[in-house]
Every structure is written in C-alpha cells, then in structure tokens.
Amino acid sequence: MDQLTALQKAGTLRAHVAAVLEEKCSADVPRETLSLDAEDAAPPVRGPFLGDFLRGTSVVYPLQVGEWQALDERRYDDIFGGASVRYQRPGNNSGWIDLYFYPVGLQEPDEQRTMAEGEREALLDARKESMASERDMSALQPLVVPVASLEASGPARVGANVLDFRYSTDGKAYSSVMIYAIDRMYVIKLRYSVEAAAASREQARREAETFFRTLLSGVEITSFGTCGRAPVADLLRLRAGCVGVDPLLPVVGEGQRELRFEYPAPHGAAGQ
C-alpha cells in the first residue's frame, strides 16, 4: 500500500495499474470490464506501456561528476522502480547524492509538474516528523537545464523542478535538495543530503544544481519499442530518445557505466 500511495501522489498510479492489467489479465477480457468507474479508467493505449511501447532502455551515465564519484548502484524489484546510483566525494562523508532513473513515458510539461508536486508531498510526508515545521520545505521552483539537442529541430533544454529543505535525524541537522526532471521518457530525480554544518540549504541547492546540470549533459538515454511509431513531432518536442522498434547498441566509453533495462512483452501480447 505504501508503494501504491506513493505512485498515486506521483501521478503515475493509473499508468502502473494499466500496465499490470495488461500483463496479468487475459487479452480476451474486454477493457471495459477492467474498470469499476469509467472516470477512473486509465486512458486507452495501443498496447501496454512496458514491454510494447517501451521494450528496453540503455542509460549510460558518468562515474564521476566534478568532485563526485559513483560508489554504489541499486536496482529495484518493481519493474517501474528503475535503479539508483549514489555519488559521494572521496574522503568526505558529510553528504551524498542519490540519483534515480525510472520509466514514465511521454509526459507533457503540465503532467511533469503534477508528478513533481506528488513527489514533494510524498517527501514531506516522509520527513515531516524530522522537520521543525512544514515551512522548512520550500515550494517547487522551475529549473531549466541546457542540453545538447537530440535532433536538429529538437529542444536543447530540459525543464526540471527543484526544492530544498532542512531536517534532523539522530541529533544531527541536514540540508537537503530534490531535483525532479523527465527526459527521454525517464524520471531523473536527484536527492542530495549534507550535514548542515558543512553546507547551508542555499549552498546545498547550488551544489545540487551544478551537479545536475553537469550530469545531464553527460547522460545518454536511448530506448526502443513501438514508441518509434509515435508522431515524429511529439518525439522531438518531448525528447523521447527513441531509436525505433529494434535496440541500438550504445557506446560506453571510459569513465562511464551502462544501466540496461529490458521489459518483456506481457503474457498474451501479440506480435512480441
């Protein structure tokens, strides 16, 4: 239930339930019988999201970003959970950055903002007992990150949302930052926590924004699936990062590491 609550607050519960229904329920069952209320039904899609629209993804990320080095990588059991990477400064244990990658598909800017607000509410719920008051967490603010354009006519920036806050645990105060972005059909979420004695909220936010801008310019995300049949204008406008129905072998250079996600076709799916 905690996971479903978090998905609901993030605005991704409908997509999650729709994918589960596609995977677990018989293809012979009419879609109308899978919903108790037409208003709550997931929007119709051409086949399931994971395993059809998105069949696999390669995320190539840098092992070092400025002074920060990747120390640990974790994959989550939930197919929608993706993976996370932890970065720290060598010899400095006062702070750490956790970077999350997980699939959400094509999202319009207003949908991304709604999902970011859901992440803020979930974070506030999780940390409210360790904060002096809810006012210790800032509102979401926009952050524009310049990036290389994927196509000649495609966008050369990624819109993100950022907030900062202060919390205490085990008698020690921390400054913390969250940055939330959607790029190439994946959420890229940063969580930075550092001892308040080492960095104020303002300093932590500047450090996190600098890290995120540098990181995003060095992350390659390529996905394959039937997303390649979506209108080209939408793929360019929303930076889909699709390479078509067939996978493309990525180039992983020195100082980089690849996260590969494969999404098998749901049981009973045709043409997979």
| CATH number of the domain to which 27 belongs | 3.40.1000.10
- Residue range(s) defining the domain that contains residue 217: 1-248
Residues 117-122 have a mean pLDDT of 96
- As a whole number of angstroms, the distance between CA 219 and CA 256 comes to 9
The model's pTM is 0.81
Give me the phi and psi of 39, to 5 degrees please. -65, -30
Q: What is the pLDDT of residue 47?
A: 60
Residue 45: inside a domain: yes
- As a whole number of angstroms, the distance between CA 48 and CA 263 comes to 11
- As a whole number of angstroms, the distance between CA 27 and CA 24 comes to 9
The pLDDT-based confidence of 267 (bands split at 50, 70, 90) is low
Residue 256: inside a domain: no
Residue 112: inside a domain: yes
CA distances from 99 to 43, 64, 70, 108, 225 (A): 30, 13, 10, 22, 25
Sign of the C-alpha dihedral, residues 131, 93, 253, 146? positive
- As a whole number of angstroms, the distance between CA 146 and CA 214 comes to 10
Strands in 256-262's sheet, in edge-to-edge order, are 220-224, 56-62, 256-262
Q: What is the CA radius of gyration of the chain?
A: 19
The pLDDT-based confidence of 45 (bands split at 50, 70, 90) is very low
Residue 78: inside a domain: yes
The pLDDT-based confidence of 14 (bands split at 50, 70, 90) is low
Q: What is the pLDDT of residue 154?
A: 86
Residue 268: inside a domain: no
Query: What mean pLDDT value characterizes the chain?
Result: 85
- As a whole number of angstroms, the distance between CA 88 and CA 91 comes to 8
Strands in 172-183's sheet, in edge-to-edge order, are 64-65, 68-75, 83-89, 92-103, 186-195, 172-183, 157-169, 141-146
Residue 148: inside a domain: yes
Residue 94: inside a domain: yes
Structural domains of the chain, count: 1
Across 29-33, 78-82, 242-246, least confident range: 29-33
Residue 121: inside a domain: yes
